[in-house]
Amino acid sequence: MPESPEIIIKGAVTGDAAGYTLNSLKKNHIRAVYREISGFTDPAPALKHGMNKWRKPGLYSSISQLMLLAGACIERRHFNSGRFIEAVKNAPELPDHEYSYFRDPGTAEKNFIINAGQTETGGYRFEYPCARILPVTIPMLLMKMNCEDTVLPVFTFVSMFTADISTALCSALLLQIIYRINADQAISLFEHAAESGAALVAYSEANSHLFFELGYNPDYVINDARFIHSILQKIFSSQGISSAEDIIITEVNKKISTPVTRASVNLPFAILPFALSIAGHTTRPQDIFLSAAAEGGASSALASIAGALACAKYGNCIPQNLDEGLINRKKIQLIISDIASGRNREQIIRELTSGELSLTKKENEEYQDRNRKSAGKKSAGAEKKPVRREDTLSRHIVESWTKIDKARWKKEKNRSNNEPED
């Protein structure tokens, strides 16, 4: 039975929360510190003196916040971009937090939050790839269009964050894969991905004029569609997650000037096929969420996409401890249900803004407290100046001299003091 968009959105939010605290950490470091991830993970043990990267376990990032906000701006077969921009632009200020209630946003999100609605009047236009935007588009499943019909609306939506073609293509591709999973549960994720990639290539070739009208170079769109399709075809025959990652790294490095060494980097051409590989090669569906989170890097985006794919393929496979440990769980479930049922959108946005502002404020307070304690420990040790090698040698020489000659020196000094002055 095809899964409802609500379950898929919830899977994306839960995956985001699983990866939130491990964002930017390296996989080997995560394994060395925790050995095995079993739930929402406090990052403190892995941060040492870098508590500025601390995030609250069980919370989710700006990915989910923007995702839910986008869902509240969908009206039947239409996305109300004006309402979305206004909701972000009018987000209340929060002391000591530059991006209102949005938690740990990436560069593309930061640019949108700061310049919401200002691109035409001089706001900076972001043009770089950002995999974090992919799961933000998932609520467009609620538009109930044919998968091909969502391509252009997705491109338009993504363009608010970045003009990068790979981000828009992979966002559209993610929705096409989910559509195909819902249409036929018997086929593997890799088959769905390969078919979706081929369909996106065909669509971009047949509708180049439409991309031109949106302001994109059609040749670049077609070439990038073929490129991501080739990656999906190659991971189809991968033997496991490591094998798939090697393929992804090799292919992505053909496209970029600075080579990558892992597939968890914040690049759509890497994150989407890697999330597919994790979801497709993990034996137990409920393990997909934490397997993706434990990869580190762009773990919020990776685990969010993997979580959405897992729930699209296997239904509600969210592990019980993650489901129960998700902060604001009941409210999130109500908001997702209200979005799907078409309840008053303005009311949903007000409730979402109020609730998220409170959660971000509480996280900030705990963040400040933890960093004060960390700074206190560091300052106590910082009073000791670094010991230079020559200082150490001098100290040893003086100590040796003192031990050998101390008695003789004292005797000569006393004799000198007892002699009469001239």
Check residue 123 and give its pLDDT: 52
- The amino acid that residue 337 corresponds to is S
382 in any annotated domain: no
* Residue 421 belongs to some domain of the structure: no
Residue 239 lies in a domain: yes
The rounded distance, in Å, linking the Cα atoms of 98 and 91 is 11
Taking a C-beta distance cutoff of 8 angstroms, is the pair 109, 62 a contact? yes
Is residue 420 domain-resident? Answer: no
- C-alpha 2/C-alpha 11 separation (Å) is 15
In a domain, 357, yes or no: yes
Residues 162, 301: Cα–Cα separation, whole Å: 16
**pLDDT tens-digit profile of 348-383?**
999 999 999 999 999 999 998 888 876 666 544 444
Q: Is residue 404 part of a domain?
A: no
Cα dihedral sign for 45, 47, 52, 56? negative
CATH code for the domain in which residue 199 is found: 1.10.4080.10
Specify if 391 maps to a domain: no
Range of the domain at 270: 5-376
Give one DSSP letter per residue of 351-417, joined into a string: HHHHHHHHHHHHHHHHHHHHHHHHHHHHHHHHTSPPPPHHHHHHHHHHHHHHHHHHHHHHHHHHHHH
Kindly state whether residue 200 falls inside one of the protein's structural domains: yes
Task: Confirm if 175 and 140 have CB atoms less than 8 A apart.
Answer: yes
Q: Locate 160 and state its tokens.
A: 């608010």
Say what the pLDDT of residue 387 is: 47
Predicted confidence band of residue 121 (pLDDT cuts 50, 70, 90): very low
Q: What is the mean pLDDT of residues 97-117?
A: 91
**Tens digits of per-residue pLDDT, 141-199?**
998 777 788 999 999 999 999 999 999 999 999 999 999 997 677 889 999 999 999 99
Q: Per the structure, how many domains does the chain have?
A: 1
